[in-house]
Structure 1
Amino acid sequence: MSLRHALLGLLVYRPGSGYDLLKIFDTSLGNVWPAKQSQIYGELTKLDAAGLITVTDEGPRGRKQYELTPEGLAEVRRWVGETEAPRAQRNPMLLQTFFLGLLPREEAAQRLLHHADTMTKEYEALIALRDTVDWERDELSLFGGLVLEHGLRQRQLEQEWARWAAERLLDPPEPSSPAAT
């Protein structure tokens, strides 16, 4: 996925300014594909130059309203229809976990417990968001709710795993002895 496709996808539902799109990112897509203001505005300029969106209105302080072009709609539909979407494989926390053996066990376990606490806080923030939106009011909300549910389940899984892993480090299982022959 790319920021390009996320912006095109949002513009399918309604025209918007860079600020409007940034707000939608902050309350929905930011949980799965974070983007900074400078990235969004830069990508909008590129999409406009590529003919995938068009500026439909300009307001005070350079505010531009963007709308999807037919070419932009075709591109986002092509992307959504891909059967083999590339999967991100990088996870800095798991990479660090792989090397936690370089730390004393207690410190390694504390790192895992810290991750569990972070996931708990993120889970609670997602619950608060879930409780403030009518997830059935339109298509964008409906599918946004599906993504939110994934975020909730992912945070719950990660906090459970991190606590399990910390416990395993603090109280490792007995090594098995080779079977007598």
Structure 2
Amino acid sequence: MSRTVPEVKAYAGELNSTAASLLGFLHGGPASGYELVGIAEGLIGDFWSLTRSQVYRELATLSARGLITAGPVGPRARRRYELTETGRVAFAAWLAEPPGPEQIRYPLLLKLAFGSSIDRDTLRGYLVEHRVMHERRLKRYYDMADNIDDKLLRSTVRFGIHYERGVLAWMDEVAESLDVPDAEEG
């Protein structure tokens, strides 16, 4: 089934990143919404969040558009979804579009932006709590990187390793700055 460039671009324009990621996961074979949530959490959950409700809403939309087919309801009322040829074309078109700028939504940064209104011990507590999370992620990324054959997927995990190292180094800098009195305090 050959498509013209405008037709392929039309498919890409209709996909949001959540829908596109689901199509990408379905390249690996049929999966239920529940399974797709687990796959997403394991592979992209640290840098792209998908809620269970988003996944099920997108699956219904993708099915209605003919990009996936919904199988019969199975055990535990789960339905497995399969990628269609049209879904493959839409996913390829989405991949061909530029990704756009990244968006950072990091609650700790938001709190620090207003840090002059928070006592230093509270900020230190936030840093300690977040450091533990980032150390765990770093360890998990190291463990994952050793077990991934796909070079590009491994590259994504390597990004996570570099990111977590950078965040931990930055946290050290912030912790040090909390120990130095501000000019108006001194």
Instruction: Tell me if the contact between 1:113 and 1:163 (Cα under 8 Å) persists in the aligned partners.
Output: no
Q: Give the equivalent residue in structure 1 for 2:17.
A: 2
SS in 1 for 2:81: strand
Of 161, 168, 180, the match for 1:171: 180
C-alpha separation in 2, matches of 1:13 and 1:107: 45
Q: Are the structure 2 counterparts of residues 126 and 84 from structure 1 closer, same or farther at C-alpha, using a change threshold of 3 Å?
A: closer
1:24-39 equivalence runs, <5 A = 24-39=39-54
C-alpha separation in 1, matches of 2:41 and 2:99: 27
Instruction: Tell me if the contact between 1:109 and 1:170 (Cα under 8 Å) persists in the aligned partners.
Output: no
1:105 positional shift: 3.2
Q: Give the equivalent residue in structure 2 for 1:154.
A: 163
Q: Which has the higher contact order (CA 8 A, sep 6+)?
A: 1
Q: Are the structure 2 counterparts of residues 115 and 74 from structure 1 closer, same or farther at C-alpha, using a change threshold of 3 Å?
A: same
Asked if 1:46 is matched to 2:57, the reply is no
C-alpha separation in 2, matches of 1:94 and 1:166: 13
C-alpha separation in 1, matches of 2:121 and 2:107: 20
Q: Which moved more, 1:40-49 or 1:118-127?
A: 118-127
Instruction: Tell me if the contact between 1:116 and 1:160 (Cα under 8 Å) persists in the aligned partners.
Output: no
SS in 1 for 2:82: strand
1:7-26 equivalence runs, <5 A = 7-26=22-41
Q: Are the structure 2 counterparts of residues 61 and 113 from structure 1 closer, same or farther at C-alpha, using a change threshold of 3 Å?
A: closer
Instruction: Tell me if the contact between 1:57 and 1:66 (Cα under 8 Å) persists in the aligned partners.
Output: no
Instruction: Tell me if the contact between 2:108 and 2:126 (Cα under 8 Å) persists in the aligned partners.
Output: no
Of 70, 86, 109, the match for 1:94: 109
Alpha carbon RMSD of aligned pairs, Å?
Answer: 2.6
Q: Give the equivalent residue in structure 2 for 1:55.
A: 70
C-alpha separation in 1, matches of 2:181 and 2:20: 46
Asked if 1:82 is matched to 2:97, the reply is yes
TM-score (norm 1): 0.78
C-alpha separation in 1, matches of 2:77 and 2:39: 20
1:106 positional shift: 4.0
For structure 2, which runs of at least 5 residues remain unmatched after alignment?
1-15
Q: Which moved more, 1:51-60 or 1:93-102?
A: 51-60
For structure 1, which runs of at least 5 residues remain unmatched after alignment?
175-181
TM-score (norm 2): 0.76
Aligned length: 169
1:12 positional shift: 2.1
Q: Give the equivalent residue in structure 1 for 2:153.
A: 144
SS in 2 for 1:67: strand
Share of identical aligned residues, percent?
Answer: 30
